[in-house]
Each structure stands twice: as C-alpha cells, then as structure tokens.
Structure 1
Amino acid sequence: MIKIENFSFWYSGQNKPSLDRINFQISAGEFVVIAGRSGCGKTTLLNCLNGIIPHLLTGRAEGQVIVAGQPVAEVPVHRLSLKVGTLLQNPEAQFFTLTVRDEVAFGLENLGFSPDIIRERVEAALIAVSIQDLADSFLGELSGGQKQRVAIASVLAMQPQVLVFDEPTSDLDPAGKRTVAGLLKKLQADLKTTIIVVEHDLAAVGPMANRLVIMNEGKIVLDDLPQRILGEKSQVIRSLGLKVPGTMEENHVREGTPEPVCHVETGRNTGKAVLNVDNVSFTYKNGRQALNGVSLELKAGEFLAVAGSNGAGKSTLAYLLAGLYQPRKGRILIRDRELSQLRTVELAQEVGLLFQNPDNQLFCATIEKEVRFGLQNFKLTEAGEVIIWLLNSLGLAQLSGRHPQAVSRGQRQRVALAAVLALQPKLLVLDEPSTGQDWGHLQEMMNLLAELRQRGTGILMISHDWDVITGYADRVIVLEQGRVIFSGTPRNGLAYCGL
C-alpha cells in the first residue's frame, strides 16, 4: 500500500534534512503508530504520504514515496484525497463551512456523491465519533475536543483506503480518547483500512497498533511490535523523552466513592488571592449556557488545575479570565480589582493566556520576534535576559530565527507560552498546554512553571492529562455542564472521576 525508498526532505532554506534517508513499507490493513519528540519529522512524514509535500509545501526531496502503486509526486492532491484521508494536527486548519453537518458533508459534495449517499455517510460518521447531537452547531462555538471529533468525522465520511491521523486524541478527554482509539481499531478490523497515526500518547493507541515506529531527528530509529518496543526497548523510549505507558500515573490508586453532588475540599494556603471568580455564568448567543454559577479562588504561588469532559465550559472560563468574554452574571476580580475595569495594557501584565490552539496567537516573522512582541507592543522595557532564559528553558534557542509556522505544533505551543511569559503576568491561564508535547519537553515546560509559581505566579491550567495534574497541581476543580462538581486534591479528583 505504501512504500518509501531512501527518502530525504529539506524545507526551503534548511541545511539539515527534516527527513533523513527514510526506508519503510506499510501493507494494506496495517495499523501503524509513529512517535517521537516534537520536531523530529513525524508530521513532515505524514505530509509526504498525502501529497501536501511536495505539491503544497515545497523543498528539496531525494528518493520517492509511493502510495497505492503511484508516486505521490506525480499525483495531484485532490486525486490522492480519494485514497488518503488526513486529519491535520490543527483540526481548524481543514474546516471550510460553518456548521458541523455541512463540514462532514463538504468533501463528499465536492466529489459529486448523491444526496442520499451523503446523508447516509454523514449520519454514520457523526454517530461513530458521538457528536450527532452537535450536527447543527456552529463550528466556532465548539470546544477544541469537539472540533477534533468533527475533523475525524469529516475524514471518515470519505471512506479512503488509508487514514492518516496527526495527534487525533490530543484535545480529547479520557472518554474521547477511548472512543477514538476503539473507532480506529474497528475501522482497521472491519474495513481493513490502513491506519497511520502520529501520537505522543502511546497509552491511547500504542497497544492497538500492529507496528510502532519511533523517530528521532528525521530518522526511523525503531520499527517493531508495540509490545516489544514498550517492553524490551522501553529504556530507548525514555531516553528519547517519551512516556512509556504504565510507568507514570496510568495506574492511580482509586480511593473513595464518587458523590452525586459537588464535592469540595480545602486546598493548601499560599499567598494573597490573585483571582476571585464569584458566581459567574455565561451564555452564548445561541442560548447554550457554557458556565452556570462558577466560583473559585486562586492564590499567589498556587497551581490550580481545571478538568472536565469536552464541552464542559473549561475554555470559556479561560476566555472570561483573559477578558475576551464578559460574564452574563457574577464578577471576576484580579488581585482585588474588577477585571472589567482593567485597561488592556494592565490586563496583559496581570493575566497571561495560552490558547489551546497556539496558531491563534502567533503572527510574527520569527520566533524571537514573537517572544518580544508583547513587550514592544505595549512599549514596555525589554528584559533581554528574560527572553534568553525563556528561549533556553523551553528548548527554543536553536529555533529563534525560524518562522513560528515552520516548526511543529508542540514547538509552536512553547513559542506561544514564551511570548505570554515575557510579559511576566501575575496570573497564568493555560488551556491544554500539553497538546503536541512529548513527555520530555512537557516536563521541561512544567518545571519552568514550577519555578514561576515559586516566584508568586498563580497558575490555572486546563488539562485532560491527569499525569500532569497529579504531578504538579495543588488543587483541581472538575467542571461538568458548566458547573463545578468537584474541588479538592488531584488524587481525590482522580478517584471522584473514576479514572
């Protein structure tokens, strides 16, 4: 089905290849997972399979890539799409319509399928990823995880021979990860679909694969059965900064019985409050209530995690704290001042927001300019040593002259974080910061945040990653349908959620 022969690829302006003499084959019906550190060439490899490289992203290539008996370089992208379906790392980058149903139908309509077939396939795809109740929703009103499911449904509706997924579970809650993993396995088993998945979370899809491929610096360093690599060769995995399933927090101690009402525990006492959210509610223009009577407090130097299923209201809360939305009810205080009364320049130095999708806040020509932009934009004194410290701490120093969109999703996430931290905000709001991060870089990021909290920064982190929550947070609140249903220690929150 897929054959790659001695293939190397250099992006324009690069001296070092992003792919270096790749040789491997994938047979029809195989389920292959590709893993590796951020920036090691995984997404570049996928783009060589679907024709994005060389038809849309140009550079210098050697060797060849063959899909279904045809050289990718000789087949137009629109023809390849009939054979290779792609889920991009950023699902929003492949949206073309306004509503969920229209988006899932878009590809089929463009290929001229009959209305009956389109309706049948759209409904089946929506049901497959459990979003049939969102069919008439606007894409702009969905959570990151819900958008991920829409993108997956759009690919499934096309019924291609090969499915190429770039981080398909990255924005999903634990239930969503299980749903997608089970769906991929079912597609491979029932339809004999060839499935290729790039994924950092090996616990989600690794055990289901026929093969596990590990990349490092543009090369394939391991290619074997998952159980062999994750068992006999697990030390190699760790040395590359990847997390081996079952070795961190996959097997948590589950104590206590979940209660049917909101459960509240007392968190540790730190400094003065940097954030007070008092009975806040928010309703979107379509009438959907995203938050209902949320109250919380965050003190200086405290690390609060916010968990909950996709669509529970977590990102909406983040937007409210950054002043992007205004509450319909209740009030938000930042260091005892009404958030609504803060001027933009004041708010930017008080609250730093890392979006779930870093591409929403990157727009400069180089990574270094991106990190400096906030200081220059607000005409604040540049702290050169802080910029250097951030670039080094987040593994970006060697990339500082490159365009932000020319690096991996995980690297872009760290660029956006560095740009936010350059303003040295008193309150840091992080929306799924682990997205696209390998375990090694994630630990470096979290250690940096731990250092900031020692300096008095209050941190509110939205996350589905309970390994990170239990490892770094003092407290966790769990949202469900816009309400706080739990507030307490991470381990008790884990037990409360039954994970």
Structure 2
Amino acid sequence: MTISIQNVTFTYPGAARPVLRNLSLEIPQGSFVALIGNNGSGKTSLCRLLTGIIPHFFQGDFAGTVLVNGVNTLETRVAELARQVGYVYQDFESQLVKPRVWEDVAFAPLNYGMADYRQRAATALKQLGLSHLSERIVWELSGGEQHLVALAGALALDPSIIVVDEPISQLDPVNAEAVYERLHTLHKEYGKTIVVIEHHPEFIANYCDTVALLVEGAVAWHLPVREALMRVEELARHHIFVPQVTRVAQTMVARYRCQLERIPIRLEEGVQVFQPYAASRNGEANHVASSRFSAPSEPVEVAAFEGVSHFYELMEGERRAVLNNINLRLRKGERIALVGGNGAGKSTLLKMLAGLERPKRGRILVYGRDIANDSPERLADTIALVYQNPQAMFIEDSIRGDVAYYLKERRVPNWAAIVDQALVDFNLVEIQERDGRLLSGGQMRRASLAIGACMRPKLMLLDEPTANLDVSNRQQIIAMLAKLHDWVDTVVIATHDMELVAEWATRVVVLRHGSVLADAAPADVFGNEALIHEARIYPPQVVRLSNALAIQPVHLSVEMMAAFLAAR
C-alpha cells in the first residue's frame, strides 16, 4: 500500500472532541481517490496526516499509525515527508512565498539543494500548462492562477503522492476541467497516487477511481466510484449530491416508475439512457417557459455603473485592464449572478461597489449618489462585501467576537440578540468560542456569511459564497438570502457555481475580459451555446443534457428534467 492509516484518533489543542475517530484507510499505489463528507467530517485533517503536519505541527492528542510509502509519519520529519507527498492546502495562498511564478515553483527544490531546481520548476509549469506565466508576478495573478501555481510548487519535488484539498475551489469550470485533466495525466502517465477533497460529483464521476466517505472523523466506506455514487439515499442523508444525470435517473425511477436500462453517472451515459425518452417527445412544446429578465413595473435603482473602466499598474510598468466601459443598473429585489472565467473582472466589480477600488474612468452610483468620495467605512452601512477568502474577515479570537465586531463598533441596538440569531442560522453555536482561523473551510465560510448578514446591509455582495461547501451548507446560504429580504434590497454574487446560478439567480451578467457579454435570465444565458463557449462557462450538467438531447428551452433543474422525460 502507498498509504496505510490504522486506528488514528486525533484531537486539536483546545477542541472538545476528536476530529478523527479511530480512522482507518488503505490507498494502493496509483489510485485516484476522492474524499467526501460534510464540512467538519475530518477530510482536511486526514490530508494533514499524510504530510505529517498532524501530529508534528498540530501537536494535539494523537493515537494510531500512518504509513506513507512504508514510512511511519510519526517518526519522520515533515521536510522529509514533503518529498513523498505533495500537498496543496485549501488556503493555498499561504504556500506562495516568492514574487515571480518560476521562483515560487522552484522554491522547494532550491531549498532542498537540488541542482536542477530550474528544470524542475519548468517541468512542473509545463505539466500544468503554465509555462506562459513563468515570468509573471504571483500577486498579480487571479486566484485561480495562483491555485495552479501552488499545485506546480507541489509537483516540483516530483512526489509519488499528490494531495489536493479542494483542487477547483477558486477556478472557473473551464480551468477546473483543465486541472483535473492535468491530475488525470499525472495519474495515468506518471503513475502518481492522487488524493483530492472534492464536493463536485461530476468531477468525481469523470476522473476518480474510488471514493471514501468520512462521517464524524471516521471512514464509513471506501468504494469504486460507480458503486459509491449509486448510494444516492445514503449520500443524501450526509448532504452529499451525486451527479445531476444520476439524480435525474433516480427521480424518474423512484417518482415516475420509469424502467431505465441503467443509472448513468456521466453525461455521455445520460445522453444514451435518456435519448429514447427525449425522442418520444420530439416536436412537443417544452412545458418549461423561458423568460428574459424583466424589471419590476416601477423599479427602484439600487446601484449603477456608468462607463466604468479600471486597470492595474503592474510591477513591470505595464497596465492590465480589468473592466472596460461597464454599464449596469442594479434594481431592488434582483438576485444577480456575475459569471465568467478567472480574471473576467467579477471580484473587481464587487470591490468597486464596496468602495475598496476606485474606477479610473466612469462613475458608480448607490441610491443615486456618486460614491467616488465615500470611504468603505461609510459605505459599510449600506453595502456588505463577503470576501472570497473568509479568513480575511476574522479579527477577534472567537467566531462570536467576529460576528459581533461590526455591530458593537457601530453601537447597533440589541446587537447581542442579532448575534445569537446569526449563530443559530449559520449553525455556529457549537463553535462560537473557537478561533475562526482554525476552522474547516466550510465552517469559515459560514462564519464569514454570518458576519456579513449581521451588518444588515441594503446591498449584499458575495464573492464565491459556495466555494468549499457541502450541500447542507450551500442550502443554508440560499435560505439565509431568503431570510434577508426584509433588509437587503439586492444581492449580487460572483460565482463559478452554475447550479447556484440556475437555482437562485433572476438575472445573470456574463463578463469576459472585463466587458459585459450578456445580461439576461439564466435560461437564456445557458441556452446560448455560442455565448457559453465565448464566456468560458460550463452550465449545470442538466443544462448540457438538455442541449445534447436538443430540448429547448433548456431545463435548469433535476426535477424539471425528470418530469419532462418521464411524461411520455
């Protein structure tokens, strides 16, 4: 076995209970394994076991045995294990330490005294298709590009095992598929053992060999990918979704008593299985109406971009344009999704609304007032921005303190009651006294959303709100947005989560290279295949199934698709 974990129990310092409980797992050499489970189930801690970070860095209560390539991690320094296991953290920014891309990727082999450190960096960058970025400044890259650089840094030592905590958490769908294609190449052509923490079932179905489910710090089972994804009801009890084509098939069988030849787990299988059902309805009108976004009869304008352009001054004296002549009007009651590839300008647009960036040209109005001279502190009474990196919102040494911070500083009446309710809504009561920086990724996200919600904004801006979240937490976010309707006029989300867009948004603004390509309802955006290709966005799997089966207008949900196909 490449990896053998036997009866490991571990408790973090100060934690009330173990994060890992008598955990055992065997991973053969050359496997491609997905770790799944609720946020807080122990997935990240399991990955830390493989690198020796537990128990050498986090020196809590540890019992059990971990063998990596036959080496006992308890008896081996982390520096030595790093040559066996390449690890990309969920907070990958902490791994970026040098200014230029090639220097950062070469950092580990250089510090190990490897004479070929430059070649190792070049090889790693080539393997990930990043050679063109080698001379770029790391801090000038998009979040997705930085994530890939961190992965290249892990590859530079040529480890036999690659562990990636949420490999596509900040990538657009096109780049996400590219990353998995690279991991697939490392797995198949170079014999690497790949271990990923993943919430996206489509990538698990397409690329992984086996799936290990973690429940309350233990491995409930470790199964081949098809067998694992067939456990639809069990996974649903743990708030884990299977691919949409699988859910369509399961719904057709369970609810509509259809007799399918097999249950698909991949899109191409779904097309074959569902083609006879779609063909039987050829020429019929689709019962799902498509409607372009239409404003209320008397729309209240919350914010407006008028001819806004922006660029950044790079360290080499060059300019990089990020927004080009943006004209947008945001109205009360809208749920707006900003979509587009990495670097399209989504995060910059949000920062400008919050007053953290000033446009080089044009102006931004909030409730009719030009905010050019407004400080972020003044705008915070009206606009709340929840950052893509939730750690940036933690100031105090406890979650309760962080959630209460803004309210106490602004002397909001009844602030304690507001905090109490937020802790309940976001399932933070049990961890309210813990330091936010020591939580799992999903717990951090919930805490950051609670902080934003407690500000009671009129305009709420969320940057990648569902990144790193399981289904349960994702649904909590949507429920939270609904609860805010009394004091939030408009919500704007920048996201790569196309299922969230399809389920939640009333309006989709598509950005490409800082320009608006489209501004329409979700069905109209996802039904335009030329636009999808140009904008480098992947619609939800059920939408791509609609397009493959020539169903128009496209379906946006599993329930809609199952009902349509079953009505023969």
> What TM-score, normalized by structure 2, do the two folds share?
0.82
Distance of 2:416 and 2:295 partners within structure 1 = 35
- CA distance in 2 between counterparts of 1:89 and 1:390 reads 25
* Structure of higher RCO (CA pairs closer than 8 Å, 6+ residues apart): 1
**377-386 vs 396-405, which deviates more?**
377-386
Within 5 Å, give how 1:75-94 maps onto structure 2: 75-94=76-95
Does residue 302 (structure 1) correspond to residue 334 (structure 2)? The answer is: yes
Any conservation in 2 of the 1:466–1:494 contact (CA below 8 Å)? no
Aligned 1:239-250 pairs, distance under 5 A: 239-246=237-244
- Residue 492 of structure 1: aligned partner: 524
Runs of at least 5 residues in structure 2 that lack an aligned partner in the other structure: 249-265, 272-290, 539-568
CA distance, structure 2, for counterparts of residue 245 and residue 123 of structure 1 = 36
Q: How does 1:416-495 map to 2 (within 5 A)?
A: 416-453=448-485, 455-495=487-527
Query: Is contact 1:33-1:205 (8 Å) kept?
Result: yes
Write the deviation string for residues 386-432 of structure 1: whole angstroms up to 9, x where unpaired: 22222111111211111112210111011111111111111111110
- Equivalent position SS for 1:331: strand
- Could you tell me whether the CA contact under 8 Å between 1:376 and 1:382 is conserved in 2? no
Larger displacement relative to structure 2 (96-105 or 300-309): 96-105
Q: Retained in 2: the 8 A contact 1:144–1:356?
A: no
Give 1:166-181 correspondences, 5 Å limit. Answer: 166-181=165-180
AA aligned opposite 1:176: N
Per the alignment, residue 262 of structure 2 pairs with none
Quote the residue 2:125 is aligned against: 126
- 1:383 is displaced (CA, Å) by 2.8
Q: Report the counterpart of residue 346 of structure 2 in structure 1.
A: 314
- 2:224 maps to 225
Taking a change above 3 Å as real, the CA distance of residues 140 and 379 of structure 1, as seen in their structure-2 partners, is farther
- Asked whether the 8 Å contact 2:459–2:488 carries over to 1, the reply is no
Cα offsets for 1:179-229 (capped at 9, x unmatched)? 111111111111111111111112123442221001111111121111011
Maintained 8 Å contact 2:404/2:416? no
Give yes or no for the alignment of 1:48 onto 2:46.
no
Q: Which residue of 1 aligns with 2:286?
A: none
Q: State how far apart, in whole Å, the 1-side matches of 2:527 and 2:221 are.
A: 36
In structure 2, the residue matched to 1:197 is 196
Matched, 1:64 2:65: yes
Letter in 2 for 1:311: G
The answer as to 2:306 corresponding to 1:278 is: yes
Q: Distance in 1 between matches of 2:55 and 2:372?
A: 49
**Residue type at the aligned position of 2:6:** E
Give me the identity figure in percent: 31
Counterpart secondary structure, 1:147: helix
Q: How far off its partner does 1:271 sit?
A: 4.6
Distance 1:102 1:449, change over 3 A: same
Deviations 1:33-89 (A, max 9, x none): 101111111000100110111111110011111111121111111111000100000
Shift of residue 456 of structure 1?
4.1
1:364 Cα offset (Å) = 1.1
Equivalences, count: 486
Output the amino acid matched with 1:145. Answer: G
| SS state at 1:288 partner | strand
Displacement of 1:382:
4.2
Q: 1:283 corresponds to which letter in structure 2?
A: F
Separation in structure 2 between the aligned mates of residue 351 and residue 300 of structure 1, nearest angstrom = 13
Residues 495 and 145 of structure 1: CA distance in aligned 2, closer, same or farther (over 3 Å): farther
Bigger mean CA deviation after superposition, 97-106 or 42-51 = 97-106
Determine which structure has more spread, i.e. the larger CA radius of gyration.
2
Contact 1:309 1:480 in 2 (8 A): yes
Distance 1:271 1:127 in 2: 51
Offset of residue 454 of structure 1: 5.5
Residue identity in the other structure for 2:522: P
- After alignment, is 407-416 or 140-149 more displaced? 140-149
Equivalent pair of 2:457/2:487 in contact (CA under 8 Å): no
> Match of 1:279, as an amino acid?
G
1:237 maps to a residue whose letter is: L
Across the aligned residues of Structure 1 and Structure 2, the Cα RMSD in angstroms comes to 2.0
How far apart are residue 265 of structure 1 and its match?
5.5
Q: CA deviation at 1:479?
A: 0.8
Q: Matches of 2:33 and 2:293 in 1, distance apart?
A: 45
**Whole-Å separation in 2 of the counterparts to 1:43 and 1:335:** 43
Instruction: Give TM-score scaled by structure 1 length.
Output: 0.93
Partner of 2:281: none
Corresponding residue number in structure 1 for 2:233: 235
